[in-house]
Amino acid sequence: MSSVDFQRIETEFRALALLAGDVIMGIYDGPDFEIRSKSDDSPVTAADEAADAVISAGLARAFPGVAVVTEEQAQSHSVTADSFIIVDPLDGTKEFINRRGDFTVNIAYVEKGVPLRGVVYAPAKGRLFYTRADGVSVEETGPFAVETRSTLTQLQLRKADMGAVLVVASKSHRDQATDAYINRYNVADMRSAGSSLKFCLVATGEADLYPRLGRTMEWDTAAGDAVLRGAGGRVVTFAGHDVLAYGKPGFENPFFIAASPTVELLQG
C-alpha cells in the first residue's frame, strides 16, 4: 500500500472477520463435519476453507494489488513484500473440531515487519477485538453487525504484580518447557485458552503473561500481536527479548513471549 488508508483497513477487516465468523458458526452449529489432514499433518475443515474464501474475496475487492498471505493458500507462502495482509481464517482448528469455542478469525496488516493493525474475532465466544484507525485497540460488545457498531471499550493492560502474575497458556500445545518457564514466576492464577485469544486476554488485563515455546506461524500471531501492541503491550522473542518481526522467510516464528510492559521478563 503506497498510501495507507487505516480507516478502510479497520472497516474492511472488521466486516470480513464478522462475515467469516458467520460462515464458521454455520458449520460449527451444524451436523458433524469432515476433518482432513494437510501436508504438515495439521487438521483442516470445510470451515477453514469457507472462511478463507470469504476473506480472500473481500480483501481482493477492497485492497486490489496488495499482497495477501493466508494459511490456507500454500502459494501465498512465498510472498515477499514490505507491506502485506496476513490471514488465518480459522485459528484454533483443534478447538473448533472439539467444539471448545476457543477459535478465532485473524486478519492483520503488516508493514516493514510490524503488525500495525489487526482484528481477532472469536465467534463462539462473542468477543471481537481490533485496532482502530488511530492504532488504539478496542473490544466491541455484541450483538455484532457489519453495518452498525455496538459499544467500544478501549483495551487496558493490567499493572502486573510480580508477586502475583496472571498467566495464560496454550490449551492444546502446552509442554514441559513452557511449564518450567511459567513456574519461575510467582503465579497467582493460570488459565488455558486457545488460538490468538491469549494475546487478547493480555490486552484486556485478564492476564499479564503469555509465553509460547512451540511452533507458530505469522498468521497465527500477527492479528493478536497488533491488538496487544495497540493496547500498549509487547511481543518479544523468547531468546533475547527482541521485538517479534514479521515477513520472515517461510513465515515461521521463533518462540516468543507476549506480556504487559510491567512484567519483568525472565531470561529463557
Residue numbers belonging to the annotated binding site for substrate: 71, 90-93, 220
Strands 83-91 and 68-70: parallel
Beta strands in the chain (DSSP E): 35-37, 43-45, 68-70, 83-91, 104-111, 114-122, 127-131, 137-140, 152-154, 165-170, 187-193, 209-212, 234-237, 256-259
Task: Give Cβ neighbours of residue 61 (< 8 Å, ≥ 6 apart).
Answer: none
How many CB atoms lie under 10 A from the CB of residue 141?
14
Q: Which residues are annotated as a binding site for Mg(2+)?
A: 71, 88, 90-91, 220
Helix-strand-coil percent breakdown of the chain, rounded to 5?
A: 30, 30, 40
Q: Which residues are annotated as a binding site?
A: 71, 88, 90-93, 220
Please, which contacts does 187-193 make with residues 24 or more away whose CB atoms are closer than 8 Å?
Answer: 188/161, 188/163, 188/164, 190/166, 191/166, 191/167, 192/168, 193/102, 193/168, 193/169
Crossing angle for the helix pair 6-28 and 46-62, to the nearest 10 degrees: 160
Whole-angstrom CA distances from 215 to 2, 22, 133, 149, 162 are 33, 29, 31, 36, 27
Three-state secondary-structure class, residue 169: strand
**27 near 50, Cβ under 8 Å?**
yes
